[in-house]
Amino acid sequence: MPVVFLLLSVLVAPRLCDVALPFGEAALWAASLQHLRVCDDGISEACPVRPEHGGAGFLSTVFTWRYALNNLKAAVVASDGAPAGALDATIQHLSALDQLMEQPMMDAFAQITQSARLLFDQLTPFLEMQPFAMRSLPTPPAVPRRWVWPSDGQTPLAGATFTLLTGEKMPAIGFGTWRLWGSEAYQPVSWALEAGIRHIDTAEGYANEKFIGDAIRDSGVPRKEIFLATKLSSVPKGLVDIEHTEAVFATQLQDLGMDYVDLYMLHTPPADPAQFQALWSMMELFYQSGHAKAIGVSNCDVNELRSLLSFARVPPMYLQNLFKIYKPGGQMSAEEDIVAFAHSHQIAVIGYSVQTEWPHVLPPLEDPHVMSVAASVGRSASQVLHRWALQRGVGVIPKSSRREHIEDVAELLHFDLDETSMRRLDGLATLSETGAQLLVRPSGQEDVYGLHPTTSFLTDSMGVRNVGFPFAAISKYVLGPATRVPPDACRQMCLDEPRCAAWEVCSPYDPQTGCDGCYLIGTSEVAMVEVNGWYAAVERTLP
């Protein structure tokens, strides 16, 4: 068994501190996006139910409003001067979006978007006055698993690699060529090779393989030093019959001017399971012939990948998926984290469109949270996003037609992101996908910003008010004697204690009435009851 790329993954102890978080600014930014505004009046030609090529539409509107509302919620909770009813109204709008996703109704869609817009219009003066919120990120329930890459500025890009199941090395930093149609690809690929990038990604469907082959030959870089990946597009998408697969691959090799590619992948799994299996058998033949040194898949969900593993004689060595900071690893939320699943089967993962707003409308390069992290490390937002993906164990293939942006990629091994920065960025997925209901949350993502709802009771800046836990239910889980602290300090004590799952405290302190302080509780498996004057919350689920 060859040494595989997972050996690069190590455990890194968290380094946590108080951080300033731009919740108010991010809420206003998201709500003000022009692509969101076109959906203020509901579904229309400009705001279709299913946009053909991404952009404004039903799903992008729901996710963007969730992002705006969750940032608003965090800003309100952090403020001592939030307008009365602001938190309740925010939670009500999040709940309405949850219901809309369960039962999509176009009339309700228009009502919710218009109401959310009115809420933000009313709260804009408050949000514009909000400073960055100071917050200590909670201790994670487990030590995060991060990938360590060179950051000394001395390692060449080709030196940061994954080891595939074949034993071959694949550079983790590549260059993508989607939307560099035809001859448009030649110059950017030439610049990428000049900048030291040695992994080039293309596809039959990009119609640029001939020009990429020309750029490689003209670069003077030896072919053996370049990892060339391409995709079979037409057959799995049903545009060409499966019987023509071999001819399609032969044409691709001819256009590239190569007798082999380092990686050949299905651009998407076929919709028909039987065809998926038949097509993979042909991919295995290309691999066995040596014309494809490795084989893999793209745009694949967990169920499709699991199915492929069940029938493959030669397992996939590579997965390429959309990898966005708002939706890491897939186009939609899934029951299982596809990146973790792929890694568990020693499949290398590459993320595309890391820095773009496609297919939705949140442009991460402009996100105040991303820009804040970028400013703190003295790097561009693009560099921060791609380094974040790398440290999560996902290779990157950024694309640009501008030389200066391509040269930015060459500095991805000149810096790293500390654990606080990584967790701040990880938390953006929860801002995008957490709703008001307990089960509306992204899978596989830590609740960095404390957004996961714990009860139907309304919250305020100190926690969940007028609720507590029956003492008989928590007595054996209490982590120590009661402490005389206010509710906000009690919550922070729980966040700082890895063994603490929940907390409760009464206010004001008065032992004569049974109010003897703050309890930290080592289980989340307890039900809340209504208790006037008490505060309580479940902060995390412990293993």
**Catalytic annotation, residues:** 206
Q: Is residue 40 within 8 Å of 58, Cβ to Cβ?
A: no
Residue whose structure tokens are 């008065």 = 510
Residues 6+ apart with CB under 8 A from 470: 526, 527, 529
Distance CA 59, CA 62 (A): 5
Q: Look at residue 231 and give its three-state secondary structure.
A: strand
Q: Is residue 107 within 8 Å of 97, Cβ to Cβ?
A: no
What are φ and ψ of residue 141, in 5° steps?
-65, -20
For residue 58, the surrounding DSSP H or E stretch is helix 58-78
Q: Give the residue among 91, 77, 90 at the shortest CA–CA distance from 461.
A: 77
Q: For residue 34, how many other CB atoms are within 10 A of its CB?
A: 8
Partners of 52 in the β-ladder: 54
Q: Look at residue 95 and give its three-state secondary structure.
A: helix
What tokens appear for 537 in the block? Answer: 């919350």
The alpha-helical segments, DSSP class H, found in 392-502 are: 403-409, 419-426, 428-433, 471-474, 487-496
Q: Is residue 157 within 8 Å of 197, Cβ to Cβ?
A: yes
For residue 102, the surrounding DSSP H or E stretch is helix 86-102
Burial class (CB in 10 A: 0-12, 13-18, 19+), 414: middle
Q: Give the residue among 492, 499, 497 at the shortest CA–CA distance from 477.
A: 499
What tokens appear for 111 in the block? Answer: 């009502």
Q: For residue 167, how many other CB atoms are within 10 A of its CB?
A: 10
Burial class (CB in 10 A: 0-12, 13-18, 19+), 514: exposed
